Amino acid sequence: MPNRPFIVGNWKMNGSRAMLPEARAIDRAAARYPDVSVGIAPPFTLVAVLAEALTNSQAGGQDCHAEAKGAHTGDVSAPMLADASASFVIVGHSERRADHGETDAMVKAKAEAALAAGLGVIVCVGETLEQRDAGKAEAVVSAQVDASLPSAEAISVAAQGRVSIAYEPVWAIGTGRVPSAADVEAMHAAIRARLVGALGDAGQEPRILYGGSVNAGNAAELLAVKGVGGALVGGASLTAEGFVPIIAAASRAED
């Protein structure tokens, strides 16, 4: 059901087995909102453990290597994530682009590797504050979409419904600041236009998630913005108390 909203927790470099009860509580709550697709992306060390523990939601990775195997110490490949029962992987997060020098071409290769391994993929894009202040936000994000998106061939062959884009303004991540609804709507429309430009009608399919300081207090408003197909949530996804209200906000089901 690709048109269900997709609410994904990105645990970043947080989490140990001690957090399994939180994940289980999130998973139990997810059962109450069957019209929402819920995912948690823990650190690699917990992917298999979470995949085993979750029944109403999916476990995913936060990154993968573009190659399937080989001499890449410390890296994890998409087939390895699939083997650990991950359902999806996040690629091109701004923290990876900044901390590890990931380019659009690398992100694209990772996204294609994820699709080839049968995983869903969330491709992250977003501008810095400097770029926004210079009036370049849409140009920057459009260029990232163009160059980070898996090829039309990779998507049409392997992956109807398995591709999502996450728009995460870098300046909104972990800061408590969020763009205005009008800015989110405009950017999501710009991203959709790039998707349709690249993929034709199939470009209507991928969900476009919003990420950056989403919390229980602002989720309903952000998720109601035209073109927002879900949320990628950092800090607020680390507890059931923080994350479940965001899932509820995406649902039309009554509590």
> Where on the chain is the footprint of ligand 13P (CB under 6 A)?
10, 93, 168, 173-174, 211-214, 232-236
Element holding 124 (H helix, E strand): strand 120-125
Indicate which residue of 95, 168, 188, 205 is catalytic: 168
Q: Which is nearer to ligand 13P, 46 or 236 (CB)?
A: 236
Q: Which is nearer to ligand 13P, 9 or 203 (CB)?
A: 9
Closest approach of ligand 13P to the CB of residue 232, in Å = 4
Question: 3-class DSSP state for residue 61?
Answer: strand
Whether 102 is a known active-site residue: answer: no
Q: Which is nearer to ligand 13P, 95 or 104 (CB)?
A: 95
Closest approach of ligand 13P to the CB of residue 189, in Å = 21
Indicate which residue of 93, 102, 112, 138 is catalytic: 93
The residues with which 73 forms a beta bridge, in sequence order, are none
Closest approach of ligand 13P to the CB of residue 136, in Å = 21
Contact 74, 44 (CB under 8 A): no
Nearest residue to 90 via CA among 168, 3, 201, 191:
168
Q: Which DSSP category does 65 fall into? A: B
Contact 163, 124 (CB under 8 A): no
Q: Which is nearer to ligand 13P, 165 or 199 (CB)?
A: 165
- Token representation of residue 103: 């380019």
Whether 168 is a known active-site residue: answer: yes
- Token representation of residue 105: 């071409």
Catalytic site residues?
Answer: 93, 168
